[in-house]
Amino acid sequence: MPTATMKALRKMRPERGAQLEAVSIPRIGPNEVLVRVRAASICGTDLHIYAWDPWSASRVKPPLTFGHEFCGTVERVGEEVTGVAPGDFVSAEMHVNCGRCHQCRVGQPHVCQNLKIIGIDQDGCFAELVRIPAANIWKVDPAIPEHYAAILDPLGNAVHTVLSGEIAGQTVAVTGCGPIGLMAIAVAKACGCSTVFATEVNPHRRALALQMGADEALNPAETDVVARVRAATGGTGVDVLLEMSGHPAAIHQGFQMLRAGGRASLLGVSSQPVEFDLVADIIFKGATVKGIYGRKMFETWVQMTALLKAGKLKLEPLFSERLALDRFADAFSLLQGGQAEKILFYPNGSPR
């Protein structure tokens, strides 16, 4: 019998680009689930893998099917899987933890010592079908629309960042308005923060920041954003900094905007070590600093589902193109040009 194949977008060689390939349909183990991908979303990480930057070169081992943000329908389940059945509409936590290390045992699996990421360390979701451990499957509430279900991974990053400290009634600065920064604005507003100051150099993204609920969208290339935020907060500074850019200048501005005793949650990843005024920005400020990685398993997923079900998050401005998988080159060039935020792929045909 010939082996059944499927279409997959693969990084075949350690160089820029990707290729659409016919590959064998993944075989699942007794505790795994095969999901037919309905919609997959492109992450900034996928842009790095496509461009083959130094981070990708050090981490990714071609050949690899990439992609880690998706939703789909369960096609088949392993013989030991319970609670998930063919036909279920699902997404998945793509960070796979080991279940045995110290952090896993003390309830912090999101910082597992042996974390593997589907779509980076093993074949991901830019394909007709994807193989997922049953424990990582997240059944999507039917009230959540399909295109929202495709971006639960980055939305979870935003929810984890915003809810890693108090938020209700607080003033907030969001430095960097890429997709997750934009989502964080909506989440902070939905959770009852008072005012959001967003900083971003890209004018398209500043416009989106306002659509997502920011009270002010400031351009740090033109405005003294620290002076502006301090003035708007009576000279005090904001209660909460959500650092989403990873850019050294934005990080410095963010900490200068943060009030003494405030909370900084840092999600943006810088490509180089960042110099830091530890004394002025953290110690003498009595600041609380949180590093944010991934999503809490599965507290973040529960919070995110509750917010979405309650209709608290309006994410429409984030979505632009919806493309078949073979249009991948167009998708990556649109994203690289900063002309789109979230592009969805439909590996099994066009959007409903």
Site residues for Zn ion per CB under 5 A: 43, 97-98, 101, 104, 112
Which secondary structure element, helix H or strand E, spans residue 278, and what is its range? helix 278-278
DSSP 125: S
The 3-state DSSP class for residue 116 equals strand
Q: Using the minimum distance from each CB to Zn ion, give the nearer residue, 64 or 217.
A: 64
**Pairing relation of β-strands 342-346 and 32-41?**
antiparallel
Q: Which residues contact 293 (CB under 8 A, 6 or more apart)?
A: 110, 111
Annotated catalytic residue within 3, 5, 45, 110: 45
CB of 179 to Zn ion, least distance (A): 9
Give yes or no: 48 in active site: yes
How far apart CA 98 and CA 278 sit, in angstroms, is: 34
The token pair at 319 is: 């979505």
Helices then strands (H, E): number in the chain? Answer: 12, 18
CB of 160 to Zn ion, least distance (A): 13
Q: Using the minimum distance from each CB to Zn ion, give the nearer residue, 26 or 178.
A: 178
How far apart CA 147 and CA 314 sit, in angstroms, is: 12
CA angle (213 as vertex; 182, 260 as ends), nearest 5: 80
DSSP letter for each residue of 184-207: HHHHHHHTT-SEEEEE-S-HHHHH
Question: In this structure, which long-range contacts are made by residues 98-107, counting pairs with CB atoms below 8 Å and at least 24 apart in sequence?
Answer: none
Q: Using the minimum distance from each CB to Zn ion, give the nearer residue, 121 or 215.
A: 121
Q: Using the minimum distance from each CB to Zn ion, give the nearer residue, 66 or 346.
A: 66
**Pairing relation of β-strands 288-291 and 258-266?**
parallel
CA dihedral 268, 176, 229, 207 (to 10 degrees): -160
CB of 163 to Zn ion, least distance (A): 18
Burial of 142 (0-12, 13-18, 19+ CB in 10 A): exposed
Annotated catalytic residue within 48, 68, 110, 160: 48
Q: Which residues contact 296 (CB under 8 A, 6 or more apart)?
A: 110, 160
CB of 302 to Zn ion, least distance (A): 20
CB-based closest residue to Zn ion? 43
Q: Using the minimum distance from each CB to Zn ion, give the nearer residue, 150 or 238.
A: 150
Q: Using the minimum distance from each CB to Zn ion, give the nearer residue, 99 or 286.
A: 99
Give yes or no: 247 in active site: no
The token pair at 210 is: 């306002």
CB of 328 to Zn ion, least distance (A): 16
Residue 260 carries which side chain, given as an amino acid letter? A
Q: Using the minimum distance from each CB to Zn ion, give the nearer residue, 237 or 347.
A: 347
Q: Could you give the residue numbers annotated as active site?
A: 45, 48
